[in-house]
Amino acid sequence: MLSARARLFAPWWLLAQRRQNILLLAVDDLNTDLGCYGHPLVRTPHVDRLAQHGIRFDRAYCQYPVCNPSRTSLLSGRYPERTGIFDNQTNPRSKLREAVFLPEYLRRQGYYTARVGKIYHDGMDGPDDWDLSLNPRPDTAAGTRGEGRNLTGGKFAFFRWLAAEGTDEDQPDGLIAKEAITILRQQRDKPLFLAVGFRKPHDPYIAPKRYYEPYPLEMIRGPEHPADDESDIPPAAYPPVRHNLGPLEGREFRRAYYACTSFMDAQLGKVLDASGLASETTIVFFGDHGLHLGEHGWWNKVTLFERSTRVPLIVVGPQVRDRGAVCRRPVELIDLYPTLMDCLGLSVPSGLQGASLRPLLENPEASWSRPAYTVVTRGNKLGRCLHTERYRYTEWDEGRLGAELYDHASDPHEYRNLVNDPRRRETVLELKRALAGVP
Ligand SMILES: [Ca+2]
Ligand SMILES: [Ca+2]
């Protein structure tokens, strides 16, 4: 340990050396169907292990329920209206010239920055983000063969599952874990920022067949909801094209998603074994947005329902006082950038709109007045919502295309839209004002 006096006079590189390493673990399209989030079937021992060593945020939300806008908001620390990124085609740098993205900022602060797999949406990295960026893909054919099918008769290409031949390393995520481990084992004189982006459970639902085995089809139930669930949902709440799966196809879809989740979890486990859950490393694990598995009659993301906007988020690090704790405060992915800066003792660059979660890392019950905020587009109209500790309140085109209020205290699955309930009038007015105030 350096004494306070020695620290004062130590050269910057020695101090930089003493900074915590950071392991950022991003998972594509991962909803909260995980062991530690209470799912009765899905096996995720390594995500669960991470949660036991850190703090699990039970009410974490993405800013936009699609890859590029969600990741752009997280990495720039700005809400979608500020980034101007609402789709997977627009490069963030074309809109956000003044922002310093998280990897580039850490690199400027003396970090060695490495990226393996999908952190930005593919192709959206900036020229100054990374010392090393790797995008491993298998050059073998075994992982493309096996038993599987398209669940829509080929109508929608992405509704495809495959219980593949070959090993983990015949799949991109197996190679991503392998490259991450190599980087973790290298000695270097700078602190490390390693960002690992797993590609599953994003479609197509391909995993080595042994990850399908814990999920025999007879164990998998289809989605259950009240028959009239959709009667109080504004049409704008759904994207324009619906893909209705039959009962058998729906169960196959769920099984494949669970298998891909367990496959990702096994790759995560390898990376955690190599990194250790060492106290000098801060680990952040998250999904970029959730996914419906047939709930509310929908089989994708791009909605503002809990299934699509709520994400797993786990933080492990020296700031976490109560290991294994659960925090129920509403938090959001744009909070991660200021949180990391706070934990590292670095100043934040200008323009960040999130809040440091450090008070919650130290005390998960700390008071917290910020709701989380998510937005989605419908053509040139916006749907915007707030997630408070109890409610989700949503306006479609400022209410012109409908509004929703769900009370998660009594209705966690969001079956009853209470926005027109006269007994909720005060709540609606209060949330309406709060939503109008989001910058
Ligand atoms: Ca995604
Ligand atoms: Ca309903």
d(CA 266, CA 269): 5
Is the pLDDT score of 6 beyond 80? no
Cα of 427 from ligand 2 centre, angstroms: 19
In-domain check, residue 237: yes
Cα of 436 from ligand 2 centre, angstroms: 25
pLDDT band at 1 (very low <50, low <70, confident <90, very high): very low
pLDDT at 53: 96
> What is the CA angle 51-253-196, rounded to 5?
40
pLDDT at 436: 97
- Give me the catalytic one of 36, 46, 62, 67: 67
d(CA 199, CA 194): 16
Ligand closest in space to the Cα of 119: 1
pLDDT at 300: 97
Q: Provide the mean pLDDT of the chain.
A: 95
In-domain check, residue 144: yes
45-53 and 247-275 helices, crossing angle to 10°: 50
Query: Which pair of tokens denotes residue 413?
Result: 């699955």
Cα of 67 from ligand 1 centre, angstroms: 4
DSSP secondary structure code for residue 16 in this structure: H
67-76 and 336-344 helices, crossing angle to 10°: 30
**How confident is the model over 2-27, as a mean pLDDT?**
65
CATH number for 211: 3.40.720.10
Is the pLDDT score of 15 beyond 90? no
In-domain check, residue 207: yes
In-domain check, residue 424: no
Ligand closest in space to the Cα of 418: 2
pLDDT at 4: 47
Instruction: Name which of 57, 155, 75, 169 is nearest 113 in CA terms.
Output: 75
With a CB cutoff of 8 Å and minimum separation 6, the contacts of 428 are 393, 403, 405, 419
Exposure string of 289-316, with b = 16+ CB inside 10 Å and e = fewer, is: bbbbbbbbbbbbbbbbbbbbbbbbbbbb
In-domain check, residue 418: no
Task: Answer whether 120's CB lies under 8 Å from 71's CB.
Answer: yes
With a CB cutoff of 8 Å and minimum separation 6, the contacts of 439 are 79, 81, 82, 353
Is the pLDDT score of 3 beyond 80? no
pTM of the model: 0.95
pLDDT at 2: 43
Ligand closest in space to the Cα of 233: 2
In-domain check, residue 301: yes
d(CA 92, CA 77): 12
Is the pLDDT score of 56 beyond 50? yes
Task: Answer whether 80's CB lies under 8 Å from 64's CB.
Answer: yes
**How confident is the model over 310-332, as a mean pLDDT?**
97
Query: Which pair of tokens denotes residue 362?
Result: 């130290």
Instruction: Name which of 312, 281, 309, 259 is nearest 47 in CA terms.
Output: 312
Bigger pLDDT: 6 or 436?
A: 436
Cα of 331 from ligand 1 centre, angstroms: 19
Phi and psi torsions of 94, nearest 5°? -70, -20
Using only C-alpha atoms, the chain has a radius of gyration, in whole angstroms, of 21
pLDDT band at 350 (very low <50, low <70, confident <90, very high): very high
Is the pLDDT score of 328 beyond 80? yes
Instruction: Name which of 246, 172, 248 is nearest 206 in CA terms.
Output: 172
Contacts of 122-128 with C-beta under 8 Å, sequence gap 24+, read: 123/91, 124/68, 124/71, 124/72, 124/91, 124/92, 124/93, 126/92, 126/93, 126/101, 128/104
Cα of 199 from ligand 1 centre, angstroms: 8
Provide, for the chain, the percentages of residues in helix, strand and coil under a 3-state DSSP scheme, each rounded to the nearest 5.
35, 20, 45
Cα of 88 from ligand 1 centre, angstroms: 10
Ligand closest in space to the Cα of 203: 1
What's the pLDDT tens digit per position in 168-190? 999 999 999 999 999 999 988 99
Cα of 306 from ligand 2 centre, angstroms: 13
Residue 155, SS3 per DSSP = coil
Residue-level length of the chain: 439
Note residues around ion ligand 2 (Cβ under 5 angstroms): 229, 232, 415
Cα of 417 from ligand 2 centre, angstroms: 6
Lowest model confidence (mean pLDDT) among 6-15, 46-55, 92-101, 304-313: 6-15
What's the pLDDT tens digit per position in 31-45? 999 999 999 999 999
Ligand closest in space to the Cα of 297: 2
Task: Answer whether 37's CB lies under 8 Å from 308's CB.
Answer: no
Is the pLDDT score of 16 beyond 50? no
What's the pLDDT tens digit per position in 197-233? 999 999 999 999 999 999 999 999 999 999 999 999 9
In-domain check, residue 5: no
- What percent of the chain has pLDDT above 70? 95
The count of structural domains within the chain is: 1
pLDDT at 18: 62
Is the pLDDT score of 9 beyond 70? no
- Give me the catalytic one of 121, 289, 296, 387: 121
In-domain check, residue 274: yes
Q: Check residue 296 and give left, alpha or beta (phi > 0: left; psi -120 to 50: alpha).
A: left
d(CA 436, CA 309): 20
Query: Which pair of tokens denotes residue 244?
Result: 């209705």
Is 62 annotated in the active site? no
pLDDT at 276: 80
Is 343 annotated in the active site? no
pLDDT band at 19 (very low <50, low <70, confident <90, very high): confident
Give me the domain span that covers residue 361: 20-371
pLDDT at 142: 95
Note residues around ion ligand 1 (Cβ under 5 angstroms): 28-29, 67, 288
Is the pLDDT score of 14 beyond 60? no
